[in-house]
Structure 1
Amino acid sequence: MAAIKNGRLSLRAFWRQVRPSSLKGWSLRFCCACILLVLESVTAVATPWLFSGMVGRLSGHETALVAIMALLASYTVLRMLGAVAGPARSLLMVPIRTVLRERISLRGLEHIHQLSARFHQQRQTGALTRVIDRGADAASTIVDMAFSNVMPNLLGLGLTFIVVLHVFDGWYLVLLCGTLLLYAGVSFLFTRWRMQARRERNQANSNAHRHLVDSLLNADIVRAFGNAAYESRRQEKIWKSLSAAEARLQKLIGSSQAIRNILIALATASLLGMAILDIEAHRLGVAQFVLIGTYLRSVYASVGALNYVGAGWRNARVDMEAYLELMALKPEIQSPSKPAPLPIGQPGGVTLEMQHVTFGYEPGRLILQDVSFRLEAGRMLAVVGRSGSGKSTLAKLISRLYDPQEGKVLMEGVALPDLSLEVLRAQIGVVAQDTSLFNATIAENIAYGRVGAGMEEIRRAAEAAQLGPLIERLPDGFATLVGERGVRLSGGERQRMAIARILLRSPRLLVLDEATSALDTKTEDAIQQELLALSSGRTTVVIAHRLSTIQRADHILVMEGGKVMEEGTHHDLLEKEGIYAGMWRLQARGGSVESHSVVEG
């Protein structure tokens, strides 16, 4: 079987990914569970036989009390063994189901984090969490059905058929098997219809969950525009679609159950009628009549359970489809099978180079065109330009969130795709304009820059990022929860948190993507001093909108429309009286770079 089929990961490949490295503990539990399963099935089939034997003794002309009591004792022992075997088997399987569910969830999370930035730009967080939850639930359900329903009922049916063939005429077994085949056909047909209805219900459920999460994540915008009623109406409309899909599914389930129950009723009446005629002809006794009635209930219960398993398997497979499709996605950015070593180079920094780089997020829409530069280790490169000029895209290529369509990005002379992602990312620290924080404490968010850092190191990084006054005002200090995505902090406070995280990380290549844009002038000046100290001896790439912060840069790129229009030092560019000089004069008058055009230069 291929690893990927129809855009989904195959079940065999899926099992290889989630199974534990050692199956010894699982094998022992499975063997013990199988032994208990056989014991449970034997007792389930033997107890009706013993019961019918007692009925036969009691209905005879002569009753042997000793024999009847022996049958009763055997019956009691078997019932007790069956009562213990079932729960014991379930207990043995609980850890397997739990570990499997945990591994599926963790594997899904790990895979999502390996996927490219392009995937994460297009993802829908609410729907994605549902995909992982459904995949884990479905796998756990399959294991539970296999060991709690399929194997016990198949074994029980096989033993029951042997007894029926031994005690009764062969026509009883023929009628019973014919009924089961018809039952299975009806179940198969309805199950196919139910699968489609379940897919539609799952899609409607994902839409409802996705909109709810999206609405909550943008609660500030909803309030600002006074659109709470509009959001409620949208959610109500989606819930109506979900209700309609759920109603269709339940209608199919009810119709299937009604038809199957009618089949069972007709077959039971026919078999009992045959038994009555055989009793009337003295071919069977009352005990056999009791036995066939008991076995009929057992057979139909087993068939009903197996039908549930068949439908449950298909439902679980439908629920796993999205998960298997997710797991089949290949990361756009991957480590090479044989990564090249990164030269040691200068202790504090790395050499960074771009050679004729062209890149676009979509075909036919280029963001960067033929961009080249070389930045020596320990030097600072500043990139300036209007929004849409490609500044942040350049930073993403440096971090290898994307690979260029043409050209190369090199670190210490090695092309980034030839380095392992772990080695590459260990060299880089990024402070972006949009700061992401975990719903954790201030200390935990700062420590994420270097997992395992001590509290004193965290405190020094916070002080360097000008977070001291904020932490002193908070009753819980470093233990204060920042809220989801840091909503309890202001934009400037979140940005200072991100800077503290990078200060703690102390990378060799520092990428500052408008890192101080949300700060007031006084705080920005203080943090600029810390960032200047941090960048000393390190390779630094600064994406800037305030030109006053990059005067000390060793090299400046002026970008427009994805191209490098000018480059040089601050003084060189001012002397050119070009675009940069125009931007500088505009900001000196209190204007914005965003309103500056090439013509003005």
Structure 2
Amino acid sequence: MADSTADRTGDRRRFAAELWQLLRQYRWRIAFSVVLLLVAKLATVAVPLLLKRIIDTFSHAPLPSHLALGLPAYLLAGYALLRFSSTLFNEWRDLIFARVTLNTVKAYAEKTFAHLHALGPRFHAGRQVGSLLPDIDRGTSGIAFLLGIGLFTIVPTLVEIGLVLAIMLGRYPPSFAVIIGATFLAYSGFTLVFTARRVIYQRRVNKLDSRAKGQMADSLMNYDTVKAFTNEAWESRRFSATMADWMGAGIKNQRALFILHVGQSGVIAAGVAAIMLLAGQAVLARSMSVGDLVLINAYALQVCLPLNALGFVYRESRDAWVNAERLFALLRLRPEIEDPPDAPALHVGAGAGVGDVVFEHVSFHYDPERPVLFDLSLHIPSGTTLAVVGRSGSGKSTLARLLLRLYDPASGRILIDGQDIRHRSPTSVRRAIGVVPQDTALFNDSIGNNIAYARVGATQDEVIGAARAALLHDLIASLPEGYATPAGERGVKFSGGERQRIGIARVILKDPAILIFDEATSALDSVSEHAIARELERLSHRRTTLIIAHRLSTIVHAHAIVVMERGRIVEQGTHAELLRRKGAYARLWMLQQHMDRERG
């Protein structure tokens, strides 16, 4: 996700506009937070003034008898109260504003989550989840930081510096204010220049960090493959190489940070030294008291420390923006297929006997250089079963993806009950279709919840009924935790055949008008395959069904069979008709029969 300067500028504008819309609902909470902020700063600025008076009072010892106890105790108590109130109002401000910050982070996290689900399979096929999650995490954290610093760091710091300069100009010679102003300008210029240089290193550190986490996640998710090929050492070397690059970039980043910090501290030290030298000469000349010296020292630190805070904030805000850039770049990506709220829904009746499907002169490619389908036309009449067979890469599974509107055809159209699905809401299209994929992926949740995922809100009896129909109930009942048994990450606690039966149970529970079986019995043993094939045949009775098959013995009951080669239909007919023609289908059938006899 490479970002141009124009893209980053546009992101800043969009972020500012979106942020304003989010903050408007909390305007009174923000206003109260600002009041607390100003009160806290006034208390902070008043502390040195009271401290000067305390020192000057004690410097004129002995005190008059009527003031010996009352005045110093009053001043000391006021001094302690001012320090406490500064902390109290700052913490109260943070408590009040926490809802604003957390709501903003929540809004962006929800927006990103929904956006990722809206993006098409091309995006998800090309991204590593392990590298994507750190980008999202850093992005939302960066937004939270950017939200807080503008109101609660930059504004109060400028207010504090302004109040201090006003007091210094009102009570002391202009030379003190001039030194403070020169220090501020020198510090700001140095910080701007060297922070801009450091951003380059921070971007590289983030990129390598995401790459390392992506490699780690990918390797751990493919643990069995790593073990099977004894590639643990190679995986470690590959990960170590990325971490070495990350470490090198981190060292360069830290070196740039060292120069930045030392330079900032040097500017502040020079400013404080000049102010204290000038104040010390004034005390020796008796034109200022010791209390004035303490006051000037306190105010010098009170200006320089906020300067340091401003430098920190600027540096961290640049880092935060770098972190947020990748999140904004992600949000800039447009879904391949939009689901606008005003798009009409696909109208398909419930139950059996509906869902007439037509592919009309459909051509498609994932990559323009490699077309997948060529001017393909076929018809699946309502309530019938069409099976598609062919070699790998012939375009069989692409038909299912197009019917689900995961992609749109490059040309031609697909009709369901006479409605062009390109002009219907993708959500409504997918709601009308049930899919049993070749490899059923499960959530890291209970078996019961994995089955119920097909119809959120289904009762336990409905889930059990679907499991019985998929010949899965006896297996689940034999487990110690029954339907509450965890499936594990992507269902690793169950075999491929068991996962596939869970997928079949899902479709049974969904009860859709149109069915797609994509190699739905490929992971089953012969006994289970025969039993599940009978159940799938019962389930598809009088429903529009598309079966993508490798095992020809599972599709002999189909009303029509289509043979595909290189994105084109080369044969079409019933099982008996295709065998009589002695063409491509007959050759596949004879080959599989021969292989089955050899295995037997």
Q: TM-score range by the shorter chain?
A: over 0.9
1:72 maps to: 76
Q: Distance in 1 between matches of 2:497 and 2:170?
A: 84
Compute the displacement of 1:242 (Å): 1.4
Supply the AA of the counterpart residue of 1:289.
L
Instruction: List per-residue Cα deviations over 1:436-494 (Å, max 9, x = no partner).
Output: 11111100110111111011111111111111232133111111111111111111111
1:363-394: CA deviation from partner (whole Å, max 9, x where unpaired): 12111111101222111111011111110011
Change (3 A) 1:546 1:562: same
Give deviations 1:52-100, integer Å, cap 9, x for gaps: 1222222237745255444334333322321311111111122222222
Alignment-derived partner of residue 597 in structure 1: none
Asked if 1:315 corresponds to 2:319, the answer is: yes
SS in 1 for 2:371: coil
Per-residue Cα deviation, 1:388-445 (whole angstroms, up to 9, x for no partner): 1110011111111111111111111111121012211110111111221111110011
- Structure-1 separation of matches of 2:574 and 2:488: 42
Deviation above 6 Å: which 4+ runs of structure 1?
Answer: 18-22
Cα–Cα, structure 1 residues 130 and 572, in superposed 2: closer, same or farther, change >3 Å? Answer: same
Query: Which stretch of structure 1 is more off in the superposition, 100-109 or 417-426?
Result: 100-109
State the alpha-carbon separation in 2 of the partners of residues 345 and 429 from structure 1.
Answer: 14
Letter in 1 for 2:46: A
The residue identity in structure 1 corresponding to 2:510 is R
In the superposition, the TM-score normalised over structure 2's length comes to 0.94
Assess, with a 3 A threshold, how the Cα gap between structure 1 residues 470 and 129 changes in structure 2: closer, same or farther.
same
Does 2:39 match 1:51?
no
Residues in 2 aligned to 1:344 and 1:544: alpha-carbon distance in whole angstroms: 26
In 2, the alpha carbon distance for the partners of 1:342 and 1:148 equals 51
Q: Deviations over 1:16-65 (max 9, x none)?
A: 668887954x3232122111101100000011011112222222377452
Residue of structure 1 in register with 2:458 after alignment: 453
Aligned partners of 1:336 and 1:418 also within 8 Å: no
Could you say if the C-alpha distance between residues 110 and 287 of structure 1 is closer, same or farther in structure 2, counting changes exceeding 3 Å? same
2:561 to 556, 560, 563: 556
What displacement does 1:148 show? 3.7
- Cα shift readout 1:517-542 (whole Å, capped 9, x = no counterpart): 11112111111121112112211000
Question: Residue 517 of structure 1 aligns to a residue in which SS?
Answer: coil
Select which of 357, 361, 364 maps to 1:356.
361
Q: 1:141 aligns to what? A: 145
Hey, what's the Cα distance between the residues in 1 that align with 2:286 and 2:8?
A: 64
In the TM superposition, residue 360 of structure 1 has moved relative to its aligned partner by 0.9
Q: Distance in 2 between matches of 1:335 and 1:265?
A: 59
Residue number among 202, 222, 228 corresponding to 1:224 in the alignment: 228
Q: Which residue number in structure 2 is paired with residue 517 of structure 1?
A: 522
Q: Equivalent residues in 2 for 1:488-507 (5 A)?
A: 488-507=493-512
1:6: which partner in 2? 7
Residue-pair matches, total: 588
Q: How does 1:581-596 map to 2 (within 5 A)?
A: 581-590=586-595
Please list every run of 5 or more consecutive structure 2 residues that lacks an aligned counterpart in the other structure. Answer: none
Task: Decide whether the 8 Å contact of 2:134 with 2:210 is kept in 1.
Answer: yes
* TM-superposed deviation, 1:162: 0.8
Rounded to whole Å, the distance in 2 between the matches of 1:48 and 1:340 is: 69
Q: Tell me, what secondary structure is at the counterpart of 1:245?
A: helix
Name the aligned partner's letter for residue 291 of structure 1: L
Question: What's the counterpart of residue 105 of structure 1?
Answer: 109
Output the CA distance in 2 between the equivalents of 1:160 and 1:234: 56
Inter-partner Cα distance in structure 1 for 2:52 and 2:152? 27
Structure 2 residue aligned with 1:274: 278
Please tell me the residue identity of whatever aligns with 1:110. A
Q: In structure 2, what is the equivalent of residue 41 of structure 1?
A: 41
Q: Any residues of structure 2 matched to 1:463-478 within 5 Å, and which?
A: 463-478=468-483
Q: Match of 1:93?
A: 97
Partner SS for 2:87? helix
Contact 2:283/2:289, CA 8 A, preserved across alignment: yes
Taking structure 1 as reference, are residues 14 and 534 closer, same or farther at Cα in structure 2, changes over 3 Å only? farther
Mark the CA change 1:326 to 1:353 in structure 2 (over 3 Å): closer, same or farther.
same
| 1:532 paired residue number | 537
**Equivalence for 2:302:** 298
- Aligned alpha-carbon RMSD (Å): 2.1
Q: CA deviation at 1:337?
A: 6.1
Identity %: 38
